[in-house]
Amino acid sequence: MSDHKHEHGHEHGEACGCGHDHDHEHEEFVLTLTNEQGEDVEMVLVETFDVAEKLYALLLERENPEADGIILRMEEENEEMVLYNIEDEAEWNAVEAAYNELLAKQE
């Protein structure tokens, strides 16, 4: 009889994209962003993906999931995840292409 333990090397989040079925209750990762009109909008993180060794997050409006989503770069600072706007055009083009590829694989 062996003491074999099954361990994963990474944490599974709400939208980890790992392809595994998660039986636990889904906890939404919700954050509040301020739109151009100065209004607070609740956004839900629905997908994360890597491009050129950087992590990006797709956020959708909680109250209006049909609206266009927002893609932001995620960086870890002082053990917290911080989201940044993508301001570099070349970076944005690479991220947009990777996201379109991701969508094509899901269809």
On whether residue 66 sits in a domain, the answer given is yes
On whether residue 78 sits in a domain, the answer given is yes
Residues in the chain: 107
Name the residue with tokens 């790992």. Answer: 18
On whether residue 25 sits in a domain, the answer given is no
Per-residue model confidence as pLDDT tens digits over 59-68: 999 988 788 8
On whether residue 22 sits in a domain, the answer given is no
Q: How far, CA to CA in Å, does 61 sit from each of 9, 12, 32, 54, 93?
A: 31, 22, 10, 23, 23
| All residues at 6 or more sequence positions from 13 whose CB lies less than 8 Å from its CB, including other chains | 29, 48
- Using the predicted structure, report yes or no on whether residue 3 has a pLDDT greater than 60: no
Per-residue model confidence as pLDDT tens digits over 12-39: 444 444 444 444 455 678 989 888 889 9
Domain count, the chain: 1
Q: Range of 70's domain?
A: 30-106
On whether residue 24 sits in a domain, the answer given is no
On whether residue 15 sits in a domain, the answer given is no
Per-residue model confidence as pLDDT tens digits over 73-103: 999 999 988 899 999 999 999 999 999 998 8
